[in-house]
Chains A and B, each alone.
Chain A
């Protein structure tokens, strides 16, 4: 039960100094932001250190913030230390015109499909991924539908001939 957010924060700041920013604890979950080329270094550190042991990748996804110029896409990792039962949230920001982020597949096999899904919906280019192609959408798609500029269908449209399903 020894591990607390405070200890993790100190260990990380000792190792990486000032490059980790935006510390926070929304709803008790330690959250931090790393520069995008540091994501693997931070995760490796969290994975390998015998007292940290964040060896379970719970979730990997992205968020699109069109207003944050130069860092529109945010890749979010949720890591879990099952021994001490504590979670951590790691974020990296990437620009939308060149969203290159290093892949975590070397560390976690589970990242494979989660990164493919993130690529599929946000277009985050995971550098080094063994099989980065669309997973839920069709391969021919030429846009990334979860980005904010991609609109949902206008429900009041009348030009659509859809007699079969009657709308």
Chain B
């Protein structure tokens, strides 16, 4: 009798080998952007994964082949839109490298301020989103109002907030106003306290640590082989930072540390990004001090003296003959742009953001290729999450800081 009680006969092999296919994305709240992951699940454990990207491909490289150089800037905004100014500056510096324009020190320092502000906002979003995905919404909502302070600075400098289109080839379109500096001071004063609080909320939070530690690990060898750059690479212990290895925009004038992790897991990525925010604050303070040291005419320089490439101010175009001529020449593509090929890279918030530009001397680039860090390291995702739990895969996704706009160009 006892034998029959427990005896339920199931079809052969129905329990052992059953897996489920799960579509994570393209429009899923956890993907924070449009891309798809097809996961093969055994229970909650991921057996296999395949990523699909391209849902917001906008053909920027093709469009850029018809646009004059100064009109490519708005395209770069829409790559990593969490830190658009870095992309803008990277593009301007690529053009300046091609054209042989040397920017004044004050422009370099102002650029450094803007770029580091952008890095802070980007890392802030990434880290707080990791918090959201592990169950702590508070941090995310709280820091939003301090990101707002940065956006107000952008607004004061260039007039827009998210897709900034900031600066021009050769410098900035206008000088920083006093209001901009006041807002910067306000940010420098208020932000360290907030970051400290944000840190307290997460760094030693047991739930957060247990969710992130040991998940999403990758070795330094694999990370390098997969083309990782930026915070994700540094979390594995490789101290590669474009700002230090190939200094641009006078980064060699600043003292800063490169923070590295050891295991490359999500917790290390969080810590590296957090430390980088402190480092960025430090750089901004140094840069602001240097900007204040300029005296006399030097303190009003906000662009290089290159009338043949720098779009003149609109007011001057209406009132000054010279400006009108140069404006006409630049807009009609009559200026001499050297032919050649140039690769320039900047340390974007996600890693090495490269611009490979080929000019044939014409009005628009002959070929422009963006090295988008996100696109390159996202292919490692399948390998990273294989064998882990579904919920860890989601945290891994957000801590890689995948920006669909950057991935798909």
Which residues from B are CB-within-8-Å of A137? 54, 57
Interface residues of B in 65-87 (CB under 8 A from A): 65-66
Q: For chain B, which range describes its interface: under 10, 10 to 19, 20 to 34, or 35 or more residues?
A: 35 or more
Contact between chains at B240 and A82 (CB < 8 Å)? yes
Contact between chains at B245 and A85 (CB < 8 Å)? yes
Contact between chains at A152 and B341 (CB < 8 Å)? no
Interface string of B357-383 (1 = CB under 8 A from A): 010000000110101000111111000
Interface string of B209-247 (1 = CB under 8 A from A): 000000000000010111100000000001010000110
Contact between chains at A108 and B62 (CB < 8 Å)? no
Interface string of A99-132 (1 = CB under 8 A from B): 0000000001110111001000100000000000
Contact between chains at A145 and B369 (CB < 8 Å)? no
Task: Indicate which residue in A26, A59, A114, A150 contacts B340 across the interface (CB closer than 8 Å).
Answer: A26
Majority-rule SS of B interface residues: mixed
B116 CB–A CB distance under 8 Å: no
Interface size on A, residues (CB 8 A): 35
A29 CB–B CB distance under 8 Å: yes
Nearest chain A CB to B129 CB, angstrom units: 23
A135 CB–B CB distance under 8 Å: yes
Contact between chains at B376 and A63 (CB < 8 Å)? no
Task: Indicate which residue in A114, A134, A150 contacts B376 across the interface (CB closer than 8 Å).
Answer: A114
Instruction: From known contacts A59-B354, A135-B54, A136-B54, infer whether A109 and B343 are also in contact, taking CB-CB under 8 Å.
Output: no
Interface residues of A in 136-157 (CB under 8 A from B): 136-138, 145-146, 150, 152
Instruction: From known contacts A78-B343, A85-B245, A146-B61, infer whether A112 and B379 are also in contact, taking CB-CB under 8 Å.
Output: yes
A56 CB–B CB distance under 8 Å: yes
Instruction: Please report the C-alpha to C-alpha distance between residue A27 and residue B100 in the assembled complex, in whole angstroms.
Output: 10
Instruction: From known contacts A108-B225, A114-B376, A135-B53, infer whether A58 and B354 are also in contact, taking CB-CB under 8 Å.
Output: yes
Contact between chains at B379 and A110 (CB < 8 Å)? yes
